[in-house]
Structure 1
Amino acid sequence: MMAGNPPHAEAALSTTAPSLPPNDVGRLVRRLYGIEGAVTPLAGERDQNCRIETADGTRYVVKIGNPSEPVPVVDFQIAALEHIARASARLPVPRVVRTLDGQARAATVLPDGRRCTVRMLSYLDGIQIRETPRTAAQRRAMGTLLARLDQALHGFAHPAATHDLLWNVAAAHRLVDKLGGIMDAPRRALAEAFMRRFIDHVLPRLGSVRAQVIHNDYHFYNVLVAPGDHERIVGIIDFGDMLHAPLVGEVATAAAFHMTGNADPFEGSAQFVGAYHAALPLAAVEQEIVADLMATRHLITVLISEWRAARYPENRAYIMRHNPAAWEALTQMADMSRNEARDRLLTEARKGTANEQHH
């Protein structure tokens, strides 16, 4: 059934995240890792994330997993980070920290009796790109680095890589039942139009594109730059939305975030796509649907965020952080045909690629 969602895909977004007090987190870290440090809460949608800082300034991230997260999916994320470390050691991704007894993850029981995983990663220093001014050079650096990350992940396989995830642009049709949750009639009509575009034009082509494990959440919150050089990327974080999916979905998901901040919504995204394409060229069928999938990313953002914000009003600000930009982008793209959107994106992307090669 088109509108049905696999139970654990929704469960991960509808089960309350753990919320242990900092003192309890500190005790847990001492017991499992032998590390003593100050505990600072970090933002998170599904898991409880905390920064641990030791007396000598060494920092880590401890992730107390959502009880609904299947353990094989946690193992998949750990294995992916360890694969990247081997395949491309210079990529700035977190490193897995082992427990005192050498394990990549541990478990704990929450006060309410729910069981969840615990894992620790190295902490990457840097500034989130969202806190810096956008530049063409920064966008190109982001595009090039994502291509390198995807090249490192190429060939990586894991039994849990095909897990169901609502944040998958290639499976947007499974969110049809969320359209009714949009109360504003014009906005609902807009979302319905883009859902039809996805089902009619994108879905039939997805069987003929490359697929592999992808990061799937490469945006301004999850990419870090050096404090003194906002075009030098020093960290890629949050591998919690990884899955095996179409590679073009990776590019489109990331490019969608570059639509805001310019008079021309395709200027920034084209700079990003152009740099990615120069490093890891998109095939003809991928070029045909990449702009469609950018719209699809905005579509699933509004559908999932509106649905979740209604259920978790206490976490509304975090859940809705990308919602206004997504509606703005859908409104902009509604005024043009899919062919025009494709051509605008690719013309600018090819122009950027030519300029890069010229320099």
Structure 2
Amino acid sequence: MLRLDPHLGTQGAMRDQAAALSTAAPQLAPDEVQGLVKRLYGLDVGVRALAGERDQNCALESADGARYVFKISNPSERVELVDFQIAAIEHIARTSPGQPVPRVVRMLDGRARDTVELAGGIQTTVRMLTYLDGIQIRETPRTVAQRVAMGQGLAALNLALQGFTHPAAAHDLLWNVSAAHRLTVQLDSLVEGPRRVLAQSFMARFVDHVLPRLASLRAQVIHNDYHLYNVLVAPHDPSRITGIIDFGDMLHAPLVGEVATAAAFHMAGCADPFEGPAQFVRAYQSVVPLTEPEQEIVADLMATRHLITALISEWRALRYPENRDYIMRHNPAAWQALSQMADLSRHEARDRLLTPTPTETPP
């Protein structure tokens, strides 16, 4: 498991991550994408832009109706990280072929990726995946059945990734909830006031109560970004998962961080902000039970995910106002969730997350 000293080297790590996040995404024109796809894959396609924060993503459709996703990596993305993502997707396809994840599409010469030159001589990596049908869960009403499907679906994905290793799996990532202490330097960039105080209190909770426990917990390669934008469902059956996408934040980290990160996105939409996360976590545990030490900190890590979302998005939006809407899409919910958890002790939050209400039955 990647472990970082909470006091040494954090400024350097922040600078490295800032450089990666501060590099603008490629902006190839549709005809340039068509030319690349024709040359590398032998396909004539129509091109439609897809949302992305770091990469340029394009939906493609060929004359026979086959659809694909063409990914043009951020120039700062190391090739070994692209290889890591490709290897993970192919591992899942081999070990758990029923998992609703995209498949890697090979080029005419059999390669899974290629390096291309952008304007100004900058090089980047391109690759293609199959297109998964479905709509993002964020576009559908939240239901108990949907949360159960998501919790059990993430557990199944984690089981499929068990035992998978790759040299790049232990890479540094600001979105690693288990290394939130590296963002302590960002607290001073917040405007003086209640939000800064709120963020400082949750950072202290993480450093004091969570960080010392992480090294003893089970860890593996995790998706690390399993939320309402990255899970697809059938349009007429929003509790049936048809796709899990965007493996760009994947890394080797404590498994409980995966559960907490995913659960954090279920706090909105219910009168009781713990109702959705509790349903999700219980569904996950019906497939992969959390250990007692993991249960002790899962609610802390749920709050920590909201903390890093708030800090990273505030920082990114200031630097890239042209992409502000996309960058800040989770920011209001993150601050709201932290406010909702602020008056609860660690143990109260844990119990609210893990204890079924009298009217509920476990999945």
Query: Which bracket does the TM-score occupy, shorter chain normalised?
Result: over 0.9
What corresponds to 1:96 in structure 2? 104
1:328 aligns with 2:343: no
The counterpart of 1:283, out of the listed 270, 281, 291, is 291
2:314 partner letter: E
| Aligned 8 A contact 1:273 1:349 in 2 | no
Report what 1:305 is aligned to.
313
1:83 & 1:240 partners in 2: Cα distance?
Answer: 16
On the 8 A contact 1:274/1:349 being kept in 2, the answer is no
1:60 shift after superposition: 0.3
1:305: Cα distance to partner? 0.2
% identical equivalent positions: 70
Tell me which residue corresponds to 1:242: 250
Letter in 1 for 2:65: G
Q: Offset at 1:85?
A: 0.2
The alpha carbon displacement at 1:184 in A equals: 4.7
- Output the CA distance in 2 between the equivalents of 1:9 and 1:351: 45
Structure 1: which 5+ runs fail to align? none
**For residues 192 and 330 of structure 2, what CA distance do their matches in structure 1 show?**
18
Aligned to 2:270: 262
2:34 aligned to 5, 26, 34, which one? 26
- Residues 102-121 of structure 1: matches in 2 within 5 Å? 102-121=110-129
Structure-2 separation of matches of 1:350 and 1:87: 39
Q: State how far apart, in whole Å, the 2-side matches of 1:59 and 1:12 are.
A: 30
Quick check: 1:137 aligned with 2:145?
yes
What amino acid is aligned across from residue 196 of structure 1 in structure 2?
Answer: A
Tell me if 1:212 matches 2:220: yes
Helix, strand or coil: the match of 2:11? coil
**What is the CA–CA distance in structure 2 between the aligned matches of 1:297 and 1:350, rounded to whole Å?**
28
Return the alpha-carbon distance in structure 2 between the equivalents of residues 329 and 346 of structure 1.
17
2:7 is equivalent to residue 4 of structure 1: no
Cα distance in 2 for partners of 1:10, 1:351 equals 47
Q: Does 1:53 align with 2:61?
A: yes
Q: Give the aligned residue type for 1:345.
A: L
For 1:291 and 1:84, the matched residues in 2 are separated by: 29
Aligned residues: 355
Moved more, 51-60 or 175-184: 175-184
Q: Is the 8 A contact 2:178 2:253 kept in 1?
A: yes
Is the partner of 1:279 in helix, strand or coil?
coil
2:92 counterpart residue number = 84
**Within 1, Cα distance between the matches of 2:23 and 2:301?**
28
Shift of 1:3: 3.4
Structure 2 unaligned residues grouped into runs of 5+: 1-7
Q: Note the C-alpha offset of 1:2.
A: 5.9
- Within the candidate set 332, 340, 362, 1:355 is matched to 362
Residues 147, 279 of structure 1: 8 Å contact kept: yes
For residues 4 and 46 of structure 1, the distance between their equivalents in structure 2, rounded to whole angstroms, comes to 22
**Contact persistence 2:283–2:362 (CA under 8 A):** no
SS at match of 2:69: strand
- Secondary structure of the equivalent of 2:166? coil
Q: Which amino acid aligns with 1:79?
A: A
Say if 2:83 is the partner of 1:75: yes
Taking the aligned partners of 2:60 and 2:282, their CA distance within structure 1 comes to 38
CA-CA distance at 1:35 after TM superposition: 1.1
Shift of 1:126: 0.2
Secondary structure in structure 2 of the residue aligned to 1:52: strand
Q: CA deviation at 1:94?
A: 0.4
**Which residue of 195, 205, 211 corresponds with 1:203?**
211
- The DSSP-based 3-state class of the residue aligned with 2:40 is helix
Structure 2 CA distance for aligned equivalents of residues 116 and 278 of structure 1: 42
TM-score (norm 1): 0.97
Q: Is the CA contact (8 Å cut-off) linking 2:282 and 2:362 kept in structure 1? A: no
TM-superposed CA distance for 1:355, in Å, is 3.1
Q: Residues 215 and 239 of structure 1 are in contact (CA less than 8 Å); yes or no, is this contact kept in structure 2? A: yes
State the shift of 1:21 in Å.
Answer: 0.8
In structure 2, the CA distance between the partners of 1:349 and 1:184, relative to structure 1 (3 Å rule), is farther
- Aligned with residue 354 of structure 2, among 339, 346, 351: 346
Aligned to 1:182: 190
Asked if structure 2 preserves the Cα contact closer than 8 Å seen for 1:8 and 1:68, the reply is no
RMSD: 1.3
Q: 2:259 maps to what in 1?
A: 251
CA–CA distance in 2 between the matches of 1:201 and 1:40? 46
Of 169, 177, 180, 1:169 maps to 177
1:319: which partner in 2? 327
Q: How big is the shift at 1:350?
A: 10
Report the Cα distance in structure 2 between the residues aligned to 1:139 and 1:186, rounded to whole angstroms.
Answer: 32
CA contact under 8 A between 1:259 and 1:267: conserved in structure 2?
Answer: yes
Tell me, yes or no, if the aligned pair for 1:270 and 1:349 is still in contact at 8 Å.
Answer: no
**1: distance between equivalents of 2:89 and 2:183?**
29
TM-score, with length taken from structure 2: 0.96
